[in-house]
Amino acid sequence: MSSRKLVFCALCAALTAALTMFPSLPVPATGGYIHLGDTVILLSCLLLGWPAVASAAVGSALADLCLGAAVYAPVTFVIKGAMAALGCLILAQKQTFWRFVLAALAAEALMAAGYSLFEFCLFGPAAAWAALPANGVQGGAALVLAPLFCLLIQRTGLSKRLGLAAGRGSEPRKGSGEKVSAEQEEAGPAAEDPVSDRGGRREK
């Protein structure tokens, strides 16, 4: 992973923690809380690719520790990391808007199911059912905000501006001392001019 992507991974982890803690709405039935951190997790899948798994897991678990919900920290580490992994898996082939929406839906469904199972085991069925609407509100907020920011990122070309668009983690190819631009890397071999191996004549 490049140093640039490592820096943005750390920034996404910090932003995930920040928006998980502020603002947050407590859920008395379980000691959990509703927050906006999922929006950052979904967008980090779009911007970072697989490194988003680490930023999502670490940032979310850190927020639990800071907010005094340490009992949630281990399961949060696993669930949020799994959310990001599922999102990255869906976005691995294409990064269209509707594919992002699909990734967001799948990730939020995983989040709701994971926390419901944990709360059922820890607090019992009554608490798990009581927390389900809160998980739905949290997931719904992410499903509204994240696609809006996704459109903004795609229309402004933010990934390219930040230097994160070259294969989402792949380094530009180098051969014979020649550097390949991020645009050429993203477009693939078709963007390069084919050259024959005889006399340097360009084929048409």
CATH code for position 21: 1.10.1760.20
HSE-CB for 165 with a 13 A CA cutoff = 19
In a domain, 41, yes or no: yes
Give the total number of structural domains in the chain.
2
CB 59 within 8 A of CB 13: yes
152 and 91 in a single domain? The answer is yes
Range of the domain at 192: 172-204
Q: Give the model confidence (pLDDT) of 55-102 as tens digits.
A: 999 999 999 999 888 999 999 999 999 999 999 999 998 889 999 999
186 and 91 in a single domain? The answer is no
183 and 117 in a single domain? The answer is no
Largest CA distance in the chain: 78
In a domain, 166, yes or no: no
Q: Give the model confidence (pLDDT) of 133-184 as tens digits.
A: 888 888 999 999 999 999 999 999 888 888 775 444 433 444 444 444 444 4
39 and 131 in a single domain? The answer is yes
pTM of the model: 0.76
pLDDT at 165: 58
51 and 130 in a single domain? The answer is yes
The helix (run of H) or strand (run of E) holding residue 128 is: helix 125-156
Q: In this structure, what token pair is assigned to residue 114? A: 């994971």
pLDDT at 30: 67
In a domain, 167, yes or no: no
114 and 45 in a single domain? The answer is yes
Per-position b or e across 146-156, b if 16+ CB within 10 A of its CB: bbebbeebeee
Mean pLDDT across the chain, nearest whole number? 82
181 and 118 in a single domain? The answer is no
CA 111 to the chain's CA centroid: 13
112 and 60 in a single domain? The answer is yes
d(CA 150, CA 87): 13
139 and 199 in a single domain? The answer is no
Task: Please enumerate in sequence order all residues whose Cβ is within 8 A of that of 46, keeping only pairs 6 or more positions apart, or say none.
Answer: 91, 95, 100, 150, 153, 159
111 and 133 in a single domain? The answer is yes
d(CA 120, CA 126): 8
**Helices 3-21 and 52-66 meet at what angle, rounded to 10?**
30
86 and 116 in a single domain? The answer is yes
147 and 178 in a single domain? The answer is no
